[in-house]
């Protein structure tokens, strides 16, 4: 299922987040403006948080897959994994706040030994829980009871399926991934996920195979519904389209194929002020496997910490201050503000 080694395993310079930031913020190409300058030109700078509705928690980089586009550089060889102490701090923050959503991601978050405990505790607090799932983990030996666990606790499943074509899907995620994903989707459907008028939400996530912007989310959702229904008799609740951000393994792929400059230019030229005003970082807080805080999962992977000096970790945060913080930005942010916009809930501009 591994299509390539992680950047860390390759001993790539890009395994160092600072090297990625250096490339992204380079002044060598004068045609690429700074993101904050573009925001300022549209009267949108500074970008600030307007509250914290979502606590997105990356529980580690261990994964059963090694996908070409992965911005986490996750894989079977990664060992970063959230401890119980950090997981307990997350639950404590939820219990002492009005944050309504716990969004759990990875890696394959289900491989973290504290995953089920986090879900159980958050659900006991009445919080909505999202599992960002790669699907194949649900049919992997040792994880066979996961689908039932997720259904029992009414966890929303947001599942990556970059194409309804087996060839395209496997080219991005590894040989055999598509068929295992179909198997996992069938199990979820049988448990009630994705059913019309049902309570168990199953969202699929599309991201382009190459250096292009996603097509219309509404049109692509209709295509997915038709193809998955006709070919496999499968159903889902909604589809999210997400733009590939030029970081980690996708950045490496762009550089290796000589497409970095043209892709960045595409993102810059597609800047949409309406999308920029609605980016996900304005209403979320991101936590890494060690409990360190970031504005979003992408900033986390680039190791760009919060501007706020009042809190750096989940152990010492001041939510009232962080709810009004200034967001840290960079050229990678053009990915979330291009076209119809892109975030953890897909595009958000019609």
pLDDT by 10s per residue, the chain, length 350: 444 789 999 999 999 999 999 999 999 888 899 999 999 999 998 999 999 999 999 999 999 998 888 899 999 999 999 999 999 999 999 999 999 999 999 999 999 999 999 999 999 999 999 999 999 999 999 999 999 999 999 999 999 998 887 888 878 777 888 999 999 999 999 999 999 989 999 999 998 888 999 999 999 999 999 999 999 999 999 999 999 999 999 999 999 999 999 999 999 999 999 999 999 999 999 999 999 999 999 999 999 999 877 678 999 999 999 999 999 999 999 999 999 888 777 776 65
Give the C-alpha separation, 87 to 59, whole Å: 9
Tokens of 233: 């008799």
Q: How many helices (H) and strands (E) does the chain have?
A: 14, 8
Instruction: Report angle CA 328, 326, 32 to the nearest 5 degrees.
Output: 40
pTM of the complete model = 0.95
> Sign (positive/negative) of CA torsion 107, 110, 115, 120?
positive
* Residue 108 in tokens: 């394959």
**For residue 46, how many other CB atoms are within 10 A of its CB?**
11
């Amino acid at each position: 299922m591994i299509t390539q080694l992680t950047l860390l395993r390759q001993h790539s310079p890009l395994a160092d987040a600072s090297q990625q930031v250096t490339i992204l913020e380079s002044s060598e190409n004068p045609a690429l403006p700074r993101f904050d300058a573009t925001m300022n030109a549209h009267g949108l700078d500074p970008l600030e948080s307007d509250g914290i509705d979502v606590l997105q928690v990356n529980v580690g980089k261990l994964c059963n897959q090694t996908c070409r586009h992965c911005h986490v550089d996750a894989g079977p060889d990664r060992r970063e994994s959230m401890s119980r102490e950090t997981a307990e701090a997350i639950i404590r923050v939820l219990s002492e706040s009005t944050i309504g959503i716990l969004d759990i991601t990875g890696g394959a978050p289900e491989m973290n030994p504290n995953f089920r405990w986090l879900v159980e505790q958050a659900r006991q607090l009445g919080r909505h829980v999202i599992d960002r799932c790669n699907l194949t983990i649900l049919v992997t030996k040792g994880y066979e009871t996961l689908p039932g666990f997720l259904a029992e606790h009414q966890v929303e499943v947001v599942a990556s399926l970059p194409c309804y074509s087996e060839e395209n899907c496997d080219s991005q995620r590894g040989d055999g991934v598509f068929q295992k994903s179909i198997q996992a989707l069938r199990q979820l459907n049988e448990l009630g996920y994705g059913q019309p008028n049902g309570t168990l939400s199953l969202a699929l996530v599309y991201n382009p195979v190459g250096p292009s912007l996603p097509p219309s989310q509404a049109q692509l959702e209709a295509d997915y519904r038709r193809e998955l229904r006709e070919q496999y008799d499968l159903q889902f609740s909604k589809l999210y389209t997400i733009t590939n951000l030029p970081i980690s393994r996708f950045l490496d792929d762009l550089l290796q194929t000589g497409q970095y400059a043209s892709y960045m230019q595409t993102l810059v030229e597609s800047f949409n002020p309406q999308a920029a005003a609605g980016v996900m970082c304005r209403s979320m807080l991101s936590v890494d496997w060690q409990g360190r805080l970031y504005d979003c999962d992408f900033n986390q992977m680039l190791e760009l910490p919060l501007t706020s000096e009042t809190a750096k970790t989940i152990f010492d945060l001041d939510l009232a201050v962080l709810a009004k913080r200034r967001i840290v930005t960079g050229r990678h942010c053009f990915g979330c503000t291009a076209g119809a916009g892109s975030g953890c809930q897909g595009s958000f501009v019609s």
